[in-house]
């Protein structure tokens, strides 16, 4: 029987170490009971991990000139290897059976020479591992530095970022608004009379014209001639305009026939009495159904 491997170096996989020179299998430094043909079969599989070693190749390597029951001997050897390694045929971690072909070693393998050069080997590599190292010292390539942030540190970082975002949002919402500035102006009326704009429906401005004469007028928002709105109440103050421009809110304290608070519909000019007292100020609700007012005596 010829030698199975070149017994010159150590081969390591998982927690196991194979000393090919001494013919020993060790786990965490403790020698395991694996000798004879099982050890030789393991050594041959370790020559090229990841490659299928056929049953015919194993027969030529182990029993080239001897008539033996190859199938029985190989099955016995493989079962012994799996027993010592704690492996199984159903869920192999080390030795995989290739039906009707042979076996292959599937775990990552490191040889003495590869460890010294900082190079590892696994069964997915296309190149065969070197098995003629000359040193028993093994060096493990340093693991790359951890660059990701540990989970226990992520939560405080996320919390700090969230606090900064909230504080920025609060500052933005509460910051003082810049003072308004006039970017342009346009003259709307041209009759030279003093007017107090009271409200608009979007297309017209409603004006309280000349407090001495106390007349009410309207003008288009784009400007032009003012049109007086005839109101049958004398000395009526225009206090508000409904959102749709259909009602004016009037107050009179000097008209004996029409004292108090009134609504005036336009067009049409119909009056509706709202209160017996004159209001100092008043305003329609957005829907025009209610009026908020402050009486002339100051009570709300």
State pLDDT tens for residues 272-286: 888 776 776 888 888
Q: Mean of the pLDDT values across residues 174-203? A: 79
pLDDT recorded at residue 150: 61
Q: Give the pair of three-digit tokens for residue 268.
A: 């049409």
CB atoms within 10 A of CB 51: 16
* pLDDT tops 70 at residue 78: yes
pLDDT, tens digit (0-9, with 9 covering 90-100), for 219-249:
887 878 888 788 777 667 788 888 888 888 8
State the pLDDT confidence band at 151, using cuts at 50, 70 and 90.
Answer: low
State the pLDDT confidence band at 102, using cuts at 50, 70 and 90.
Answer: very high
N residues, the chain:
300
Domains in the chain, ordered, with CATH? Answer: 10-117 (1.10.10.10), 195-295 (2.120.10.30)
Distance CA 39, CA 126 (A): 25
Determine what percent of the chain is predicted with pLDDT higher than 90: 23
Q: Which of 17, 60, 15 is nearest to 42 (CA)?
A: 17
More reliable by pLDDT, 49 or 194: 49
Q: What is the DSSP letter of 85?
A: H
Distance CA 209, CA 193 (A): 7
Q: Mean of the pLDDT values across residues 117-137? A: 44
| 39 neighbors 80 (Cβ within 8 angstroms) | no
More reliable by pLDDT, 143 or 160: 160
pLDDT recorded at residue 8: 52
The average confidence (pLDDT) of the chain is 77
| 238 neighbors 271 (Cβ within 8 angstroms) | no
Q: Which of 191, 214, 218, 216 is nearest to 202 (CA)?
A: 218
Q: Give the pair of three-digit tokens for residue 241.
A: 């305009």
């Amino acid at each position: 029987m010829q030698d199975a491997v070149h017994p010159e170096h150590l081969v390591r996989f998982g927690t196991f170490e194979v000393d090919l020179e001494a013919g020993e299998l060790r786990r965490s430094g403790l020698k395991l009971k694996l000798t004879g043909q099982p050890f030789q079969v393991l050594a041959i599989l370790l020559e090229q991990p990841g490659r299928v070693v056929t049953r015919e190749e194993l027969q030529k390597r182990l029993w080239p000139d001897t008539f033996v029951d190859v199938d029985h001997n190989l099955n016995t050897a493989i079962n012994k290897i799996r027993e010592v390694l704690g492996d199984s045929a159903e869920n192999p971690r080390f030795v995989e059976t290739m039906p009707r072909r042979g076996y292959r070693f599937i775990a990552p393998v490191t040889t003495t020479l590869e460890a010294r050069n900082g190079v590892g080997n696994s069964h997915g590599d296309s190149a065969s591992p070197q098995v003629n190292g000359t040193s028993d010292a093994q060096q493990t390539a340093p693991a790359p530095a951890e660059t990701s942030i540990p989970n226990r540190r992520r939560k405080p970082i996320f919390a700090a970022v969230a606090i900064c975002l909230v504080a920025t949002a609060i500052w933005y919402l509460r910051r003082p608004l810049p003072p308004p500035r006039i970017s342009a102006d346009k003259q709307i009326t041209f009759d030279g009379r003093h007017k107090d704009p009271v409200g608009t429906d979007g297309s017209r401005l409603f004006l309280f014209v000349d407090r001495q004469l106390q007349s009410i007028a309207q003008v288009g928002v784009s400007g032009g001639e003012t049109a007086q709105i005839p109101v049958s109440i004398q000395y009526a103050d225009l206090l508000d305009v409904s959102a749709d421009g259909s009602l004016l809110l009037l107050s009179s304290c000097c008209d004996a026939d029409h004292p108090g608070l009134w609504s005036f519909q336009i067009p049409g000019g119909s009056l509706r009495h709202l209160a017996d007292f004159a209001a100092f100020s008043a305003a329609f609700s957005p829907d025009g159904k209610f009026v908020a007012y402050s009486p002339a005596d100051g009570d709300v």
